[in-house]
Chains A and B, each alone.
Chain A
Amino acid sequence: DAGVTQSPTHLIKTRGQQVTLRCSPKSGHDTVSWYQQALGQGPQFIFQYYEEEERQRGNFPDRFSGHQFPNYSSELNVNALLLGDSALYLCASSPGTGNTEAFFGQGTRLTVV
């Protein structure tokens, strides 16, 4: 079992550009959540996808959007990148809703210059 996998591992983008990050959940998991972790802070919830729909959203602007595919993999898209979007973006998967253990990927380190 490969666990949660994310790609790419590192990415450098220019302010104003758009970026797409990808996540494959752990085998058997159908729920994917995305988190943003700024340096020195804990992860902040962006949104969660279940059954190909966004189920809940954190306090992030509409520039942040996502998608879940029938195979449960997910993408995070960020438009009009700002310098402040530089962070580690984490994907977590879990086996459905409710209070269950969430498994995290290694993250994608996004640097906006």
Chain B
Amino acid sequence: GESVGLHLPTLSVQEGDNSIINCAYSNSASDYFIWYKQESGKGPQFIIDIRSNMDKRQGQRVTVLLNKTVKHLSLQIAATQPGDSAVYFCAENTRFNTDKLIFGTGTRLQVFP
């Protein structure tokens, strides 16, 4: 498949280690946040979401942390696996503009055996 991002920030981790991917958002009115995973040649795949009334949400092997004070979002992946290799995007939305998602620039995660 064709590469999604050729010059994206890259995080390289060893298989089994934990990964942390960070995202800064600019709109203080944003109140809904989503992390997407995009593999080469595919569309974005939903990973986990969080609303602004929460600061932490856990899924299977993933945790999203939200710090509204500094407008920062992070995705933690536990026990990273080769299948986690992809480009990860954060996206934001607001209750006043619920019709579109605003995506960040993305981070490429590379997992080495």
Contact = CB atoms under 8 A, between A and B. Distances in A.
Interface of A: 4, 33, 35, 37, 39-45, 48, 55-56, 58, 90, 92, 97-99, 101-107, 109
Interface of B: 2-8, 31-32, 34, 36, 41-46, 49, 51, 89, 91, 93, 95, 97-106
Contacts of B42: 106-107
Contacts, number: 70
Contacts of B105: 41-42
Given A90-B43, A101-B34, A106-B41, 16 more contacts: A33-B99, A39-B3, A39-B4, A41-B106, A42-B103, A42-B106, A43-B103, A48-B99, A56-B99, A90-B44, A92-B101, A99-B98, A102-B101, A104-B36, A104-B45, A104-B46
